[in-house]
Each structure stands twice: as C-alpha cells, then as structure tokens.
C-alpha cells in the first residue's frame, strides 16, 4: 500500500504474540471506558446534521419576526427520545464556531441545536447584546421548537429536557435564558460576564463610584459587530470563532436590515449610542447603565433554578475570574446547585494546553450526563483548578499541577499569606490624553505580551508609576485568588485614575505580570497631600500562580494604561502604599496527571483492572521469556536513542557519516537539514526499512532490528502516503490495521481520527482526495493504535497554510501522556513553532541539537511594531542604535548594538510613540543557515 508495507510485513512475522498483547490492551480499553463517565468522540458516522432557517418571534411585543441560521444534530444510534442541548457561540461567531462541540455532544447521544445569534453571520436582526427581549426571547422560541421535535425528550407538553452550553457571549445567554425560562434543566456557561457595567467599567477600590472605561476591549467588540456584512461564505466554509460568516448579500437574508448606519453596522441603535457615549466621555449616562444592566446575568441570577457549572479562565483581561465568582455567589444564594472550575485559558489565552481543555470537556459532559440524562452520581460542588508551567497559558509548557477542593473558596482562597512591602510616598505624572501610556495588555493577546515582559522589558513609563517591593520570599507561595493592597493617594484636582499591578520578579530582575491583569482605580475627593489621604483597599484581579522562593513581589501603581481611557488633563499625583500585601492561597488535593484525569474517575474499578492486567502480563511474560530481546535498562523509558549511526552503500557512497540523538517523552523533535543531508536515510533505518552499517538504535531500550516487536509501539509516515484509490479512507485504514494482525478495538480509531482532524472526509474514496487530504489520512494511519513514538517525514507536504497550522496543533496534542514525536521537515518556521527540540544534520553529521530556543540563541536584533515609523527611526538613531530599517507600514527591524530593550522602549514611549509589539528578530531559519552555511549541499541521500 505504501512504504509502510515493509513495517507491516515485519509486524506480521509475530502475529500470535502481537495479538495476545493487543487483546489484553483492548480489554483494558473496554474496561476503562466502562469505568469512566465521559468519553466524547466526534465520529462522523455517529450523528447526522440538518441546516435550517428558523423564524422566531421576539422583541418587546413578542411579535417581531427574525430568521436565525441553525443546524440540528441528532445521534444516529438512539433508542427513543433523547435530551437536547442548545449551543450558543461567542461574540462574532456563528453556528460553525461551535460545530466541533456540537458533533461531540451528538456523538455522546444528545440532540444538539447550534445556531447563529441575531445580527451575526447569516441570521437576520440586529445585535442587542443578549437583551431579554431579543436574544433571550429568540432562545426561548428555540426551546419551543425543540419541544416539538419528535426526537427530543420532554418533561411536559412544550417543555423539552434541555441544557444550554455557551462561552463568552453564549455563556451570558445561557445564564440569562435559565433565569428567564424555567424549562432549562442545566447550564454550562464559560468565560462570561456577570455585569457589563463592571466588566467594561471596572472599579478595583472599595470606594465604589464609576469605574474606568476598558476602551480596548470595548472597541474590539464594537468593531467586530459594527462591520457591514456584504457577503458571506457558505456555512460549511468557516470555523472561525471571531470572524462572522458573510456570504449572501444583506438583501438576501430575511430579517436583516436593508441599510445600516456606517457608525453602527449591525448593532441596534440604542447599543450603538451607548458605546459612542461611553467611549467619548468615559462615564456612562443613566440610559447606558440601564441598558448594560439589562444585558447582564446579574439581574436574573436569583431566578436561576437550573444546576450551573461555571467555567472561567485565568488568562482573561476581558472577563476575569471575579465575573464567575459574582455569578456563583448570586446563584448559590438561592440554593441552586453550582460548581466552579478555573482553567488555564480565557480570552487572552485561547483554551490553554490540550490537557486542560479536555478537563473542561470532561466536566461539561459529566454535568450534562447527570442533570439531563440522569446518568452517574451528582457531580457535587467541589472546586477544581490548574496552573501552567511558566507564566502564560500561551506558552509551550503543559499543565504541571492540577488540584481540587471540597468547596469553592471564592476570591479569598483557602488561606492567605501576608507579605511586607517597602517604599516611600512617590510623585507620579499623569500624561496628557494618556500618551505616552503604559502597555500592560492588548485585547486577545494579553498572555503574549506577558511573554515579552518576562524578557526584562519594563513596560511601565518612567516617571509615571510608583513601585513598592517585598524582600525575597523565604518559601514558594501558591497564589489563587485576588491579592489586596491598601493605598493612599493625593491629587491637586481632587481626583485620580490609577492602575495597580502585581509583578513576580525573579532573581535576575525579570518581571512577570500574570496574564497582563491590571486593577483600574478611579478615586475622587482626594486631598492635595498624601499625609491627609485616607487608605483605600485595592483588590487586584484574581490570579493562579506559583511565586517561587527567592522571588520578590512588586506592586506598581501607574497613571496610564493603553487598554483604558484615562483623564486628558496632565497632572501629578502622589501615591503611598501600606506595608502589607495580602495574597490568597489555594491548597487542595493534587491531581496526579491532569491530562488523564477523566480516564480514572472510578478509581476502584481502574485499580482492579490494573491489578488484573499486571497478573496477565506476568503470565504472558513467563510464556514468552525466551522470545524477549534484551532491554538496555538505561533507555527503557526513552522513546528513541540513536547512537553512532552510519550508513554506507556498496558502491562507496556514504549517506550518513555519524549521527546520534535522543527523543524523550513529551518532546516534539524536528530533524532538520538541507537536501541530501541524511535525514530520510536516518528515518528509513529507524523504521527497519534498511539496515545501518554501524551504530545502534534503541526504542524504549530495545535494540532495533527489522521486524522487531517493539515496532508495534512506533507509528510512521516515511516516503509519502499510498492508498488504494477505489477504497474510502476508512476502508484503507481498516485494511492497513488488519494487516498488522491486531484486533480492531486496539486501533483506537476514533481517537486517532479526532487528533488528525479528518472528520467526515474519512468516508470518501481516496481517489477523490486532494494531496493535502491524502497526507492527513497517512498521518491518521500512522496514529492508529496511538503509538508511543510517532515518526513523520515531511508531514505538512501538500497542506495549505490553515492545514499546516492545524497540523502544528495535531503534533503538539499528540506529544502528551508520555508520547513523543520525531518529525523531519524543511519548513523551518513550522519547526520553530511546533517543535520543542531540534536536531540539525549537514553532510551526514549533526551540527547542532537541543531545545529550539537554545539553537536560535539570543537575538542581536528585534522587530518593533510602532505607531509612527519615521518618528521611531529618529528616536532610535539618536539613541545610538546601529541600524534601523523599515519592514512594512508599521514595523522596524532594529540592530540594537548593545542597547537594552527596556531603554529603547522607554525612549520611544517618552517621545509619544506607541509600541504595539517587540519580538526577537532572529529565527530558526537564521540559525540554520549559520550552521550549515552556503555550502549546504550534502553528500546525497538514498
């Protein structure tokens, strides 16, 4: 069938041993599946979907029709009526944004109605921000529709058994619908708000009053919804959660306005007017306050009777953890069951590591299974959280610690630690119109900016912030909740707007602002001298972070922040801090491995299965001891060790001179080199397709020879895919697996298919596949059985840019649970973004190996994105920077000539030039070219 046929033949030489082991593994998989309460697998043959146009009547009178674009999913394998889930998308999304979740829930046995909210995509109407008379009534009419479907279980006439699931905009809809319609039986809102007044006008001090306008996020929301949509892609062509569909002219969509105010787009007039008023003055009028309150769950929490699972992200400058806290307290006060879970993601951090995303899915389905389907014990109100290795959920680090506690501790944590601060009263200047302004976060990439910050760049503007610092910590602190500090402030105008931040400073002086979170404070009635000022308590945004021993904590109080609207008038404040910083701490029961939590829910059953497995394996080992090969104990737990590999051919041609490297669990290792460097030969030897002249290869401690049983733990794609064209992808995969002699249940087909992302295309004949789809099918074939080591030669060959980006995520997801990936590629930018480690080969020898970051090394130059390129060029040349050249309309490439990055940024900001991004310029491509040089032509490869 392809180059892998040689490997298949090798495996078939030992069918009996392979089958027995596979049967045991299959039994374990079946028992584990029976022991767990969750297993969501989106199989294309497990559900059917129908696209619909549903007309509903809503509005204040209940008689205003609007057409909604919807898709209805039904499980194919169902006996009788099934519960339903109403699935709502985030702001700017469509029904396609939630298609993956809809398919998983349908495969689980639920009828799922996903729809595009009014004002977005192909749906008609205007955006009213989850208003009770519009978006909420729309959803009520969808409940009516579900109640009439013959496939949907009902509790009474017109009352469907239904749960509502949604994130952000959809999460608020779930809360408000449950408060307005008692037919809702369970809800799972995530990363959403409590009150839009406090979300977009946060006030972190205990003085009350109007908060500070969050102009960056509000502007992004308004811009996303105000664009006039002239055309849209077919519904099946987009999965983007932040970009609306556009495909038919506005006039072709019933219910959509024929004309639109260019200043408002698809926003309703009152919503548009509220934004324009607030963005202009920074102070909402009474009408704006009332409108935002109506569009907030806070107004209906006391009416929610549906059991509620609240999921909130710790990397979120839009809706921080305090929003879920307010929702939890409001719902719990009525006696409704509530559970809270924090995860390492949010609006600034995506979904976090795959393991944490899967934990959230597990909790969601566990909640729905019990409260909708009556399966399993009540999930309870225990609280779970996790934190990431590193400081941002956007980093490559995986979840290293997960915990659970018996009850949700709110923002105060399960305990608290007090840290002493030092620092005298300090004058700080408020710049005119907030320019130059401190840069703490940007909408949607707060975590990325924090990564830049960790490199030692001081993002606070000199003269515009006060600093109060602790001594080095004697012991590490697990912070979980909202830190508090007491401040005193004085202002000649009687008012001050301040931004309070908590930095974690390591021994080298590098400071990290967790997730870019800032506490805005608007103070009035201030005296002119700080000695006369009364202290106010400032509650900072909740964080989940381990502060290591030896680190110091720094509280910075700034006068400006580019994410907020600040006073236009320049003035000087004086700020002092009380000597105590209060840190909430979290302690709980550790989750040993968050990435596999869901496989071990019923610990007793699993323990029995494992004991039985050990007993059976011991019996098999005694029977087949004489057939076991010697295992090198040094490498028994290492997926791959290549030692002194050499390959020469009979005609004297030497393809590989000497190569040695190691692939550890959890790593994605890139094998790089110019054409003819020896990459493919190395992979061919590794897969037993050719024998080496010298050297050894160990796979989990087993010395590798052609046909070795240990190859059953390796999956590979070498020398391109090859399939029978008259068969479907599914049939090709099944034929391949049958040739291995192992039972079908051991193939882990659904899991491999889900990771590879083939979807329904697996049921098409391969003769109709594009080159990119054939490549994806080949990778799915390599993943069958979820081998512990995956070896891929040019896996992105023939894929388009979106497919390449998805393949990047596939490989990163795969290298979890102790698995590892070795990938050969010529796309250096992809290797840099995908791989944790790299091995650079030239002329049959290794010229560099190690972590990608170490190979790239320190950057002598940086790329700056600025608001004024000519002005920035002048400032940098005056600073003595060696060379500056333009790259695009708003970017500069800067050779720093030894100038500290912090000094460059401070000089630019002081000159009134906005700095949007600063990243090292040197890339893996630069390092690669430096290593192999111009004379990179290898000795050839066969």
Three-state SS sequence of 201-223 = CCCCECCCCCCCCCHHHHHHHHH
Confidence of residue 434 (pLDDT cuts 50, 70, 90): confident
| pLDDT at site 716 | 84
Q: What is the pLDDT of residues 378-392, one digit of tens each?
A: 887 889 988 765 433
pLDDT, position 33: 37
* pLDDT score of 623 more than 60: no
Strand partners, 505: 511, 552
What are the tens digits of pLDDT across the range 651-667?
777 888 888 999 999 99
pLDDT tens per residue across span 224-254: 665 534 333 333 333 333 222 333 333 334 4
**pLDDT band at residue 925 using 50, 70 and 90 as cut-offs:** low
Q: What is the pLDDT of residues 512-521, one digit of tens each?
A: 888 889 999 9
Query: Does residue 775 contact residue 809 with C-beta atoms inside 8 Å?
Result: no
What pLDDT sits at residue 225? 63
Per-residue confidence (pLDDT) for residue 933, from 0 to 100: 54
Which residues fall within 8 angstroms of residue 809, CB to CB, at 6 or more apart?
A: none
Cβ contact 56:65 at 8 Å:
yes
- Is a pLDDT exceeding 80 seen at residue 800? no
Of the listed ranges 107-111, 638-642, 767-771, the least confidently predicted one is 767-771
Give the pLDDT score at 733: 87
Q: Render pLDDT for 275-319 as a digit per residue (tens, 0 to 9).
A: 999 888 889 999 999 999 999 999 999 999 999 999 999 989 999
Do residues 187 and 164 touch, judged by C-beta distance below 8 A? yes
Kind of pairing between the strands at 883-886 and 891-895: antiparallel
Whether the link from the prior residue into 656 is cis, omega within 30° of 0, is no
Mean pLDDT of 483-487: 97
Q: Which two tokens stand for residue 123?
A: 């749906």
| Structure token pair of residue 495 | 């008012």
Top-confidence residue, 852 or 105: 105
Structural domains in the chain, CATH included, are: 416-587 (2.60.120.260), 631-853 (3.40.50.300), 858-921 (3.30.70.100)
Stronger pLDDT, 738 or 338, i.e. the higher one: 338
In this prediction, residues 606-626 reach a mean pLDDT of 49
Model confidence at 143: pLDDT above 90: yes
pTM exceeds 0.75, yes or no: no
pLDDT value, residue 381 = 80
Q: Tell me the β-bridge partners of 534.
A: none
Owner of token pair 């899967």: 358
> Which residue is listed with tokens 């029976």?
34
pLDDT at 32 over 70: no
CA distance 131 to 43: 36
Res 470 pLDDT > 90: yes
pLDDT band for 349, please (50, 70, 90 cuts).
low
Which one of 142-146, 206-210, 265-269, 598-602 scores highest in mean pLDDT? 142-146
Q: Is the peptide bond before 139 cis (omega within 30 degrees of 0)?
A: no
In the predicted structure, residue 721 carries a pLDDT above the cut 70: no
pLDDT of residue 262 exceeding 60: yes
d(CA 11, CA 214): 61
> What is the three-class DSSP state of 53?
strand
pLDDT tier at 793, thresholds 50, 70, 90:
confident
pLDDT band at 805 (very low <50, low <70, confident <90, very high): confident
Average pLDDT of the chain to the nearest whole number: 79
Could you tell me the sign of the dihedral formed by the alpha carbons of 558, 561, 564, 569, in that order?
positive
Instruction: State the pLDDT confidence band at 613, using cuts at 50, 70 and 90.
Output: low
pLDDT at residue 605 is higher than 60: no
pLDDT band for position 599 (cuts 50, 70, 90): very low
Q: Among the residues of 118-243, which ranges form H helices? A: 135-148, 169-180, 196-200, 215-226
pLDDT in tens, 531-573: 999 999 999 999 999 899 999 999 999 999 988 999 999 999 9
How is 289-312 classified by DSSP, letter by letter?
Answer: HHHHHHTSGGGTGGG--S-EEEEE
pLDDT band at 748 (very low <50, low <70, confident <90, very high): confident
- Any idea how long the chain is? 942
Residues 859-877, mean pLDDT to the nearest whole number: 81
Instruction: Inform me whether the pLDDT recorded for 595 exceeds 80.
Output: no
Q: Which two tokens stand for residue 280?
A: 């202009």
Place 786 in a pLDDT band, splitting at 50, 70 and 90.
confident
């Amino acid at each position: 069938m392809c180059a892998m046929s040689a490997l298949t033949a090798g495996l078939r030489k030992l069918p009996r041993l392979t089958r027995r082991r596979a049967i045991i593994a299959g039994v374990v998989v079946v028992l584990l599946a029976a022991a767990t309460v969750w297993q969501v697998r989106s199989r294309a043959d497990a559900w059917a979907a129908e696209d619909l146009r549903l007309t509903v009547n809503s509005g204040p009178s209940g008689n205003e029709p609007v057409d909604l674009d919807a898709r209805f999913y039904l499980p194919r394998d169902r006996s009788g009526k099934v519960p339903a889930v109403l699935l709502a998308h985030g702001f700017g999304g469509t029904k396609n944004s939630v298609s993956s979740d809809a398919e998983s829930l349908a495969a689980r046995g639920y009828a799922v109605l996903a729809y595009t909210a009014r004002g977005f995509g192909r749906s008609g109407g205007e955006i009213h921000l989850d208003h009770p008379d519009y978006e909420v009534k729309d959803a009520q009419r969808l409940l009516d529709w579900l109640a009439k479907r013959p496939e949907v279980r009902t509790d009474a006439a017109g009352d469907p058994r239904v749960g509502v699931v949604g994130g952000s905009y959809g999460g608020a809809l779930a809360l408000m619908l449950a408060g307005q319609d008692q037919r809702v039986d369970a809800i799972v809102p995530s990363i959403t708000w409590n009150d839009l007044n406090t979300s977009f006008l946060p006030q972190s001090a205990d003085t009350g009053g109007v908060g500070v306008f969050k102009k960056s996020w509000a502007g992004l929301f308004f811009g996303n919804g105000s664009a006039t949509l002239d055309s849209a892609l077919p519904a099946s062509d987009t999965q983007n959660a932040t970009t609306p569909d556009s495909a038919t002219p506005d006039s072709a969509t019933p219910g959509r306005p024929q004309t639109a105010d260019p200043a408002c787009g698809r926003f309703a007039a009152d919503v548009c007017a509220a934004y324009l008023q607030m963005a202009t003055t920074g102070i909402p009028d009474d009408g704006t306050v009332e409108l935002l309150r109506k569009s907030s769950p806070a107004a209906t929490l006391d009416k929610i009777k549906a059991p509620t699972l609240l999921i909130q992200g710790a990397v979120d400058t839009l809706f921080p953890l305090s929003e879920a806290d307010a929702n939890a307290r409001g719902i719990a006060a009525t006696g409704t069951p509530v559970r809270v879970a924090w995860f390492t993601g949010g609006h600034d951090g995506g979904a976090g590591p795959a393991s944490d995303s899967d934990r959230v899915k597990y909790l969601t389905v566990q909640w729905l299974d019990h409260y909708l389907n009556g399966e399993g014990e009540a999930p309870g109100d225990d609280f779970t959280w996790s934190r990431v290795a590193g400081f941002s959920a956007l980093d490559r680090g995986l979840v290293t610690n997960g915990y659970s506690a018996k009850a949700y501790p709110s923002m105060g944590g399960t305990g608290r630690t007090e840290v002493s601060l030092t620092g005298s009263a300090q004058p700080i200047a408020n710049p005119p119109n907030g320019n130059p302004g401190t840069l703490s976060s940007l909408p949607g990439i707060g975590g990325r900016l924090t990564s830049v910050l960790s490199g030692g760049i001081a993002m606070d503007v000199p003269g515009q912030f006060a600093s109060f610092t602790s001594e080095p910590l004697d012991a590490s602190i697990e912070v979980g909740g909202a830190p508090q500090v007491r401040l005193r402030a004085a202002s000649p105008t009687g008012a001050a707007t301040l931004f309070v931040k908590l930095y974690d400073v390591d021994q080298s002086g590098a400071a990290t602002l967790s997730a870019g979170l800032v506490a805005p404070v608007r103070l009035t009635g201030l005296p002119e001298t700080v000695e006369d000022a009364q202290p106010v308590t400032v509650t900072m945004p909740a964080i989940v972070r381990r502060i290591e021993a030896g680190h110091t904590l720094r509280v910075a109080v700034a006068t400006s922040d580019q994410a907020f609207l600040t006073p236009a008038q320049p003035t000087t404040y004086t700020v002092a801090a009380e000597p105590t910083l209060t840190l909430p701490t979290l302690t709980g029961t550790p989750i040993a491995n968050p990435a596999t939590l869901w496989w071990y829910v019923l610990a007793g059953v699993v323990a029995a299965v494992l004991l039985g497995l050990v007993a059976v394996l011991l019996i098999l080992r005694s029977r087949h001891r004489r057939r076991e090969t010697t295992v090198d104990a040094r490498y028994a737990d290492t997926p791959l060790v290549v030692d002194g590999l050499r390959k020469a051919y009979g005609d004297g041609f030497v393809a590989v001179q000497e190569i040695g490297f190691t692939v550890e669990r959890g790593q994605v290792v890139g094998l790089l080199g110019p054409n003819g460097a020896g990459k493919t030969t190395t992979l061919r030897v590794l897969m037993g397709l050719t024998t080496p002249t010298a050297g050894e290869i160990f796979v989990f401690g087993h010395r590798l020879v052609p046909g070795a049983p240990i190859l059953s733990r390796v999956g590979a794609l070498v020398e391109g895919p090859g399939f029978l064209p008259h068969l479907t992808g599914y049939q090709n995969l099944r034929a391949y697996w049958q040739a291995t002699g192992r039972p079908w249940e051991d193939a882990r087909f659904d899991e491999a298919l889900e990771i590879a992302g083939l979807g329904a295309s697996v049921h098409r004949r391969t003769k109709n596949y594009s080159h990119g789809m054939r490549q994806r099918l080949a990778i799915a074939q390599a993943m069958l059985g979820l081998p512990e080591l995956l070896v891929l030669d040019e896996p992105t060959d023939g894929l388009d840019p979106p497919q390449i980006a998805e393949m990047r995520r596939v490989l990163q997801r795969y290298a979890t649970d102790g698995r590892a990936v070795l990938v050969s590629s010529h796309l250096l930018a992809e290797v840099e973004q995908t791989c944790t480690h790299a091995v650079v080969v030239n002329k049959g020898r290794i010229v560099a190996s190690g972590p990608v970051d170490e190979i790239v090394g320190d950057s002598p130059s940086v790329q700056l994105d600025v608001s004024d390129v000519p002005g920035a060029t002048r400032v940098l040349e005056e600073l003595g920077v060696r060379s500056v050249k333009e790259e695009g309309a708003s970017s500069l490439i800067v050779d720093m000539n030894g100038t500290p990055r912090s000094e460059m940024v401070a000089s630019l900001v002081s000159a009134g030039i906005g700095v949007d991004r600063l990243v090292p310029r040197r890339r893996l491509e630069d390092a690669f070219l430096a290593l192999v040089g111009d004379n990179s032509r290898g000795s050839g490869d066969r």
